[in-house]
């Protein structure tokens, strides 16, 4: 069925999203997540607005399959003009919306006033949102943090973004200073929701769907990031006790690798699948040496042979290696 564009405001609650994650949420993983969850909203990895204008390779990275809808592209950058042109291109690709990254804490990004850096320049942040909103008709959202070093300015900052045209705000419950340390704090996000007329999503430390529901409070939904790595089941409302079986995990790994190979060459897929394999094996009793053997595999036939052996049991993997 063709995707029918829906406004954030009209989406059924809770709005549950796969958080944008660089190096993780490529089209392969998004399709795998979709195959397990029909309603999850999918976000791309963050993509440079300027890079998109210059490079075909960057544009190709944003390609998606129809079943990925609702699919949102996240852009980062710091010039309204680059965002305006990039938004136009992205809209032509048929996405459901464009998300502006105002939360990335990486030094390189922040020093060039991208990502979290925009929290310190409200004027520029609003000009970017305005530029995107005026350039396209799809939904425009912003993903940001509580603030730079505290949450004092969260309400005025997010209110300005909404006045500039943002139709949804996602808050990762940490400040820039915290990066990923400590525990995400959701109280300021609940307070923000009481001041905004647009939907607000919470993010930070959600372990699974039920945990998201517990944390959601008065919000419209939540995003799951790290807990979704190697865990496409994390969005299911009724997870099984003990999680998926070894065979199910291995089947997902093989499927995932196959989807990657549809869009990436072997050497790249073999490197990128490692982070995911570590996620699939999280919490699973597997000897360190077996885990290493699997993660360090350098050719495709061996990887597939080892995965098939693992499905039979860790001892079979040990024999096959």
Give the interface size with ligand FMN as a residue count (CB under 6 A): 22
CA–CA distance from 30 to each of 20, 278, 320 (Å)?
10, 18, 31
Residue choice 18, 87, 95, 104 for contact with ligand FMN (CB under 6 A): 104
Q: How many residues does the chain have?
A: 321
Interacting span for ligand FMN (CB under 6 A) from 55-63, 119-127, 221-229, 244-252: 221-229
Q: Is 136 a catalytic residue?
A: no
Position of minimal CB gap to ligand FMN: 225
Contacts of 224 (CB under 8 A, 6+ apart): 16, 17, 18, 19, 206, 208, 212, 234, 235
Q: Is 202 near ligand FMN (CB under 6 A)?
A: no
Q: How many Å separate Cα 193 from the centre of its chain?
A: 22
Q: Which DSSP helix (H) or strand (E) runs through 87?
A: helix 80-92
Alpha-carbon torsion (31, 253, 249, 207), positive or negative: negative
Residue 205, phi then psi, degrees to nearest 5 = 70, 15
Nearer to ligand FMN, 227 or 252 (CB): 227
Contacts of 110 (CB under 8 A, 6+ apart): 104, 116, 117, 176
Site for ligand FMN in 34-53 (CB under 6 A): 45-46
Q: Is 172 near ligand FMN (CB under 6 A)?
A: yes
Q: How far apart are CA 200 and CA 192, in angstroms?
A: 8
Closest approach of ligand FMN to the CB of residue 225, in Å: 3
Q: Is 74 near ligand FMN (CB under 6 A)?
A: yes
Binding mask 128-147 for ligand FMN (x = CB under 6 A): ---------------x----
Q: Is 26 near ligand FMN (CB under 6 A)?
A: no
Q: How far apart are CA 124 and CA 130, in angstroms?
A: 10
Q: How far apart are CA 39 and CA 32, in angstroms?
A: 13
Residue choice 5, 6, 22, 153 for contact with ligand FMN (CB under 6 A): 22
Q: Structure tokens of 286?
A: 């597997």
Interacting span for ligand FMN (CB under 6 A) from 101-109, 213-221, 242-250, 300-308: 101-109
Residue choice 70, 117, 151, 225 for contact with ligand FMN (CB under 6 A): 225
- Residues with catalytic roles: 104
List contacts with ligand FMN (CB under 6 A).
Answer: 19-24, 45-46, 74, 101, 103-104, 143, 172, 203-206, 224-227
């Amino acid at each position: 069925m063709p995707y029918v564009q829906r406004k954030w405001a009209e989406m059924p609650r809770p709005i549950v999203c796969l958080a944008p994650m660089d190096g993780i949420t490529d089209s392969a993983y998004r399709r795998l997540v979709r195959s397990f969850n029909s309603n999850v909203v999918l976000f791309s990895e963050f993509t440079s607005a300027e890079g998109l204008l210059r490079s075909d390779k960057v544009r190709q990275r944003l390609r998606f399959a129809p079943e990925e809808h609702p699919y949102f592209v996240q852009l980062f950058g710091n010039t309204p003009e680059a965002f305006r042109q990039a938004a136009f291109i992205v809209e032509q690709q048929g996405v459901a919306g464009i998300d502006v990254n105002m939360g990335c804490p990486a030094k390189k990004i922040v020093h060039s006033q991208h990502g979290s850096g925009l929290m310190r320049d409200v004027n520029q942040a609003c000009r970017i949102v305005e530029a995107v909103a005026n350039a396209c008709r799809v939904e425009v959202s912003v993903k940001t943090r509580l603030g730079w070093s505290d949450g004092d300015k969260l309400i005025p900052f997010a209110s300005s973004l909404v006045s500039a045209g943002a139709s949804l705000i996602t808050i990762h419950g940490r400040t820039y200073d915290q990066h990923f340390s400590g525990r995400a704090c959701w109280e300021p996000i609940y307070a923000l929701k009481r001041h905004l007329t647009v939907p607000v999503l919470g993010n930070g430390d959600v372990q699974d769907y039920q945990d998201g529901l517990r944390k959601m409070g008065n919000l419209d939904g939540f995003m799951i990031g790290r807990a979704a790595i190697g865990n496409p089941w994390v969005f299911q409302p009724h997870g099984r006790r003990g999680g998926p079986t070894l065979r199910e995990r291995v089947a997902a790994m093989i499927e995932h690798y196959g989807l990657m190979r549809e869009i990436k060459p072997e050497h790249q897929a073999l490197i990128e699948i490692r982070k995911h394999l570590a996620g699939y094996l999280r919490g699973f009793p597997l000897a360190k040496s077996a885990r290493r053997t699997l993660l360090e595999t350098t050719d495709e036939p061996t990887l597939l042979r080892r995965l098939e052996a693992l499905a039979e049991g860790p001892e079979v993997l040990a024999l096959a290696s």
